[in-house]
Copies of this chain bind each other. A is one copy, B any other.
Amino acid sequence: MLTEERHFTILNFLKEKEAVKIHELTEATGASESTIRRDLTDLEDAGLLRRVHGGAAKVSRKRIEPTMGEKSARFSEEKRAAGRLAASFIEDDDCVFIDAGTTTLALIPYIQAKNIVAVTNGFDHLRLLAERGIQAYGTGGMLKPSTEALTGTGAVHGLQQYWFDKAFLGVNGIHLKAGYTTPDPEEAAVKREALKRAQQPFILADASKFQESTFTHIADLDAAVIITGRIPEKTRRMFEEATDIKEALS
């Protein structure tokens, strides 16, 4: 029996069943154990099956990244609530921008809208969107190792190809005087560009970001609607004069 035929036979076994024993294959092909082993090694290298002790198993088509699941499990109640609320603003056929950062990451699992297109500069975001079957585009740009975000002129340049219905941005500071701020000027440039290109921009932030200001100015408060989990009554009253605030847990 030809090598090619054996390979074909082996793969056919795995179309029917989840796994196959070496002994079954020696019997079906008439080849020796050594030969079957070599075949299995070849086919594994080609990525067509997975070797297991005693035989071979099907390769699973869906590869769900466990780290992502773990990550989302680690979201606080506030982040999840804010994410769910933010996701509810996304409508069918929307084109949205989703900023890098954990706050915006929390909104992705709650997206229900059909047929949307999402652009993101977040590394994990890109994968999570694709895993959820959402058409996902990366902005391009340099991968900033610390935050796993694509930044710099490459990202801005990438953004300039698109126009958004909605944009969901994360920030580090929300301040009555300083407006929205973030430490890295490169990231600020990306956020500013996204803000400019969205009809409805949203800022996702948890309570810790309020009344903070960091190095680089992104925009004034009234440039976007703020979505948050739960904030103190006092803070809410203070900021809702400056812009619209959507609070998930009231």
Q: Which residues of A contact B (CB under 8 A)?
A: 2-5, 8, 18-21, 44-48, 50, 52-55, 57, 59-63, 66-72, 74, 76, 78-79, 102, 123, 126-127, 129-131, 133, 135-143, 145, 150, 153-155, 157-158, 161, 208
Judge whether B142 and A141 touch: CB under 8 Å.
no
Tell me how far the C-beta of A49 lies from the nearest C-beta in chain B, rounded to whole angstroms: 9
Of chain B, the residue at the smallest CB distance from A120 is: B143
The answer to whether A137 and B126 have CB atoms under 8 Å apart is no
Cβ-closest chain B residue relative to A19: B4
Interface of chain A, main secondary structure:
mixed
Q: CB < 8 Å: which of B70, B136, B139, B157 contacts A47? A: B70
A57 in contact with B4 given A47-B71, A70-B48 (CB within 8 Å)? yes
What separation, in Å, do the CA atoms of A72 and B57 have in the docked complex? Answer: 13
Q: What number of copies of this chain does the assembly contain?
A: 2
Contacts of A47 in B (CB 8 A): 66, 70-72, 102
- Residues of B within 8 Å of A57, CB to CB, are 2, 4
Tell me the bound Cα distance from A60 to B11 in angstroms.
15
- Report the nearest B residue to A137, measured CB to CB: B142
User: Whole-angstrom distance between the alpha carbons of A142 and B95 in the complex?
Assistant: 13
Closest to A136 in B: B143
Give Cα A71 to B61, complex, Å: 10
What 3 A-B pairs have minimum CB-CB distances, sorted nearest first?
Answer: A140-B140, A47-B71, A140-B158
Which residues of B have CB within 8 Å of A150? 138, 140
Contact (A21, B46) CB under 8 Å given A137-B142, A157-B161:
no
Find out whether the CB atom of A46 lies under 8 angstroms from the CB atom of B139.
Answer: no
Q: Which single member of B69, B102, B139 contacts A63 (CB below 8 Å)? A: B69
Q: Which residues of B contact A60 (CB under 8 A)?
A: 69
Structural contact, B59 and A70, CB atoms closer than 8 A: yes
Show 30 residue pairs from A and B whose CB-CB distance is below 8 angstroms, ordered by the A residue: A2-B21, A2-B54, A4-B52, A4-B55, A4-B57, A5-B18, A8-B19, A44-B74, A45-B72, A46-B66, A46-B208, A47-B70, A47-B102, A50-B72, A59-B70, A61-B69, A62-B69, A63-B68, A123-B126, A126-B143, A137-B141, A137-B142, A138-B142, A138-B150, A140-B155, A140-B158, A153-B161, A154-B161, A157-B157, A158-B158
